[in-house]
Structure 1
Amino acid sequence: MTQEKALCDIGFIGLGVMGKNLVLNLADNGYKIAAFDLSQEKVNDAIEQDKEENKTDSQRVYGCSSYTELLSQLKAPHLIVLSVPAGEPVDQVCESLIGAGIQPDDIVIDTGNSLWADTVEREERYKNQFILFSSAVSGGEVGARFGPALMPSGSPYAWTRIKPIWEAISAKVDPKTGKPIERVEPGQIIEGGDPCAAYIGPAGAGHYVKMVHNGIEYADMQIICEAYHVLRNGLGMSCDEIADTFEQWNQGPLDSYLMEISVEVLRHKIEEETPLVDLILDKAGQKGTGLWTAVSSLEVGCPAPTISQAVYARSISSFKDMRVTASELLQGPTQKTLSDEDKQAFTMRLHDAIYCAKICAYAQGFQLMKLAAKEHNWTLDFASIAKIWRAGCIIRAVFLQPITEAFERNEELENLFLDEFFVEQLNKYQANWRQAVAEITLMGIPAGALSSSLSYYDSMRSAVLPANLLQGQRDFFGAHTFERLDKAVGKRYHVEWSSQERAIQKI
């Protein structure tokens, strides 16, 4: 057993839900794994599940009781994957591996949701002890088991070694249709298809891209939830009726994993009678990546109101007691009863509003990545990133195919709003979007993501914004100066507001 154990290809640390499923995915693809977790029960569980699912007689997953044993059971140079919580746990494992004798040419892959800046700092800190490589993973436990979307970054040398492994275990997409090639059975291997794994760039780039992915995910979820809220409270539809509507929408441009699972959630009942969703407390949690995206958008000066509003929506949901109290004090509009014909017409407009708001969320996310790439001197392939997200990840959707094609047409594209396809789509549906938001507002139902997206759209299409008055205000109280339309670009001016003449000075 020990001799065979010493032939393990990959070491794996952290056998929680994501870790265990990644281990089983690696095993399906022909790799032998030396596995370690602080919980021996989790190690045993991973081994037992692999035995149950493995269709051959050979053992694929081997348990280790220490970091030293883990290193001893691997081929050199060692390749070790971490699936541990972001932050201090990553550093604790790295320090433990150093103590166990890890070598400078060994590779350690952090697959957690680490903050990208922490990844940059870690690579520098550990560069003389081992090669730290990072790879963001999206897709949840099912994606980890049967094919996630992988966003690796760091040492180009390390990537040459990791690439065949990552491409093997990643989700696959039909290159012609852009649709996922489903893999749902243990041991099943997909031959062909585009792998949803591609090198992103230097240290931190992969985790940054995953962070933005999660920010878009926040927005996409919130947009769907607002549609549910409007249909439930504004139109009085049942959960089954809303599920039917979402299922119908999922046959067109709104086809996505998030829409698909929303149908499943809405249909699920307790004792075949009560919709589960009616029993779930309306207080949303978050793990920080949406917040990180919103903060980053402010730091680099990229407008991302749809993403930010989704973060705010989760925050305001946490004030449940306050909302209950305020609901008894604050008035809203009187609800009107709509005819079946009016409901049908409104539902069509709501569909178009969701589609346009979704375009806004992606436009904001991709522009944010483009501006961050300039700031951090990264070279990001946005067509490749869109391709990675077509399968395996949470925001996988048919919608990503035209985004891929947009960046293939113009790799310098600054914003999806400037692409011919999305210009046509927004122009076609903006009237319905506008009317839907107005009607929702008159219903008194909160729809921050849908309405802030419309405001973003109107701001982007405005050749002139009221920032001229804003600059005048700033110059009045703070002498911040301003530029003029009738003067040379870059020349700045200040009005002597305190003087009677209020002369304009050239600065």
Structure 2
Amino acid sequence: MAQADINLILNMNDQSFVVCAFNTTVSKVDDFLASEAKGTKVVGAQSLKEMVSKLKKPWQIIFLVKAGQAVDDFIKKLVPLLDTGDIIIDGGNSEYRDTTRQCQDLKAKGAGVSGGEEGAQYGPSLMPVGNKEVWPHIKTIFQGIAAKVGTGEPCCDWVGDEAAGHFVKMVHNRIEYGDVLLICEAYHLMRDVLGMAQDTMVQAFEDWNKTELDSFLIEITANILKFQDADGKHLLPKIRDSAGQKGMGKWTTISALEYSVPVTLIGEAVFARCLSSLKNERIQRGLQHQKCIPRKDKGCV
């Protein structure tokens, strides 16, 4: 079971909802029940058939699996067990076109699909969508486990039909890509152009976090910059500068091109990650640059 699964279950338990946990690796369920879920009302199941046998009708099944074929495979296993009115909820990061297709396929089977953000133990922002008939059945649970703002208003409401929730989350996550790129560029300028020391950069980010730039990303950047290893040395300079990505940036950029929406910062953030991942090529180019001896009117020789 991934940490997102565990956090979502514990969140529901904390809100007095009884949850039945299932994982294809049965030992992970046993370990969870013996550790984080010990002393709670969470129950486990050894199979999908056993899991649904422990649920009240209409069944409300939330699953978090890797986007793509794994989602299709799980739904295919689950559908034969469902009755009209049962609800399945894809809580992962599925590509919105896949969610649209799944919603349309499942309408004939009487099952609703609601795509939304993965769970978090202390209050996620949730974006439920799918068949509108589903909302009254899941509203209490979703708004109960969602983060709260102001006077207690939940960060959760019905977003729209079919794949709207996954589309919103896709764009939301990739706006964050743009924010991260801006932070990386600021770090690059401070370190490589201004020659600022690590502790000085920490102070700069902490100062920014006291202004209108106050944000979670600025806050954790300062914490990352100041973090030291067991030797008392800053850890960040020792980490390989090769970023990865899971594909949502590509989805967002392709969708923007299809809909003629200029998301230039998000696109550049995606390409920056592509460039960052080419670590060996960047090293080789750096060595070539070091060997380059400028000659007047002859370029490098």
TM-score, scaled to structure 1:
0.55
- Looking at structure 2, the residues matched to 46 and 132 of structure 1 have their Cα atoms a distance apart, in angstroms, of 29
One-letter amino acid of the structure 2 residue matched with residue 215 of structure 1: R
TM-score, scaled to structure 2:
0.92
When structure 1 is superposed on structure 2, of 229-238 and 122-131 the one drifting more is: 122-131
* Counterpart selection for 1:122 from 99, 102, 105: 102
Matched, 1:146 2:126: no
* Counterpart selection for 1:325 from 281, 284, 287: 284
- Looking at structure 1, the residues matched to 33 and 89 of structure 2 have their Cα atoms a distance apart, in angstroms, of 22
**Map of 2:299 onto structure 1:** none
Matched, 1:42 2:28: yes
**Map of 2:15 onto structure 1:** 29
- Looking at structure 1, the residues matched to 218 and 234 of structure 2 have their Cα atoms a distance apart, in angstroms, of 17
CA contact (8 A) 2:114 2:131 kept: no
**Map of 2:155 onto structure 1:** 196
Matched, 1:240 2:240: no
Shift of 1:318: 1.4
CA contact (8 A) 2:174 2:252 kept: yes
* Counterpart selection for 1:61 from 39, 42, 48: 42
CA contact (8 A) 1:122 1:132 kept: no
CA contact (8 A) 1:50 1:60 kept: no
**Map of 1:132 onto structure 2:** 112
- Looking at structure 2, the residues matched to 134 and 88 of structure 1 have their Cα atoms a distance apart, in angstroms, of 18
**Map of 2:66 onto structure 1:** 85
Coordinate RMSD, CA, aligned: 1.6
After the TM superposition, which residues 7-406 of structure 1 pair with which residues of structure 2 at under 5 Å, given as runs? 15-52=1-38, 59-99=40-80, 101-137=81-117, 144-174=120-150, 192-330=151-289
CA contact (8 A) 2:85 2:112 kept: no
- Looking at structure 2, the residues matched to 49 and 249 of structure 1 have their Cα atoms a distance apart, in angstroms, of 40
One-letter amino acid of the structure 2 residue matched with residue 276 of structure 1: L
One-letter amino acid of the structure 1 residue matched with residue 270 of structure 2: V
When structure 1 is superposed on structure 2, of 24-33 and 35-44 the one drifting more is: 35-44
The gaps in structure 2 that reach 5 residues or longer are 291-301
Structure 1 172/49 Cα, relative in aligned 2: closer, same or farther at 3 Å? farther
**Map of 2:296 onto structure 1:** none
One-letter amino acid of the structure 1 residue matched with residue 116 of structure 2: A
- Looking at structure 1, the residues matched to 197 and 52 of structure 2 have their Cα atoms a distance apart, in angstroms, of 56
> Any idea what the Cα deviations from partners look like across 1:191-210, whole Å, max 9, x if unmatched?
x5221111111000000000
CA contact (8 A) 1:104 1:130 kept: yes
- Looking at structure 1, the residues matched to 178 and 31 of structure 2 have their Cα atoms a distance apart, in angstroms, of 36
One-letter amino acid of the structure 2 residue matched with residue 62 of structure 1: V
The gaps in structure 1 that reach 5 residues or longer are 1-14, 175-191, 332-507
Structure 1 227/47 Cα, relative in aligned 2: closer, same or farther at 3 Å? same
SS of structure 2 residue aligned to 1:270: coil
One-letter amino acid of the structure 2 residue matched with residue 28 of structure 1: D
CA contact (8 A) 1:115 1:207 kept: yes
Structure 1 202/48 Cα, relative in aligned 2: closer, same or farther at 3 Å? same
> Any idea what the Cα deviations from partners look like across 1:203-227, whole Å, max 9, x if unmatched?
0000000010111011011111111
